[in-house]
């Protein structure tokens, strides 16, 4: 009988704009937002990392903010501790 694989626990991150994308990498979620949601005419995203309340209507500006202010989170060296995303309206086109 084979031994069960024991993998280290990793937090899963989901897209807070659509809840249909999940990854163990926060940077994958950011990339998903850029490729899927940033083209919506009413695109809006709030940072939410460690209580940051910065809001953006442009994905490039949002990504630049993340690199300048939350680089360790993007590189997986720190957990994002998201606290602001749930207050955003859904951006899913119906």
Domain boundaries, given as residue ranges, for the chain? 21-87
The CB-side HSE value for 9 (13 A sphere, CA atoms) comes to: 2
The pLDDT score that the predictor gives to residue 16 is 86
Q: Using CA atoms in the order 21, 22, 28, 33, what is the torsion angle rounded to 10 degrees?
A: 30
The Cα 67–Cα 51 span in angstroms is 16
The pLDDT score that the predictor gives to residue 84 is 53
Beta bridge partners of 13: 23
The pLDDT score that the predictor gives to residue 88 is 44
Q: Which segments in the chain show pLDDT lower than 50?
A: 1-7, 85-94
Backbone angles phi and psi of 82, in degrees to 5? -70, 135
The pLDDT score that the predictor gives to residue 82 is 78
The pLDDT score that the predictor gives to residue 8 is 53
43 Cβ neighbours under 8 A, 6+ residues apart: 37, 57, 58, 59, 91
């Amino acid at each position: 009988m084979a031994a069960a694989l024991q993998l280290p626990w990793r937090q899963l991150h989901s897209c807070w704009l659509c809840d249909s994308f999940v990854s163990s990498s926060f940077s994958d979620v950011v990339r998903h937002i850029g490729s899927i949601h940033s083209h919506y005419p009413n695109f809006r995203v709030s940072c939410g990392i460690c209580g940051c309340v910065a809001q953006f209507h442009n994905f490039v500006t949002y990504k630049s903010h993340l690199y300048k202010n939350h680089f360790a989170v993007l590189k997986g060296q720190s957990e994002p501790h998201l606290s602001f995303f749930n207050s955003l309206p859904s951006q899913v086109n119906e």
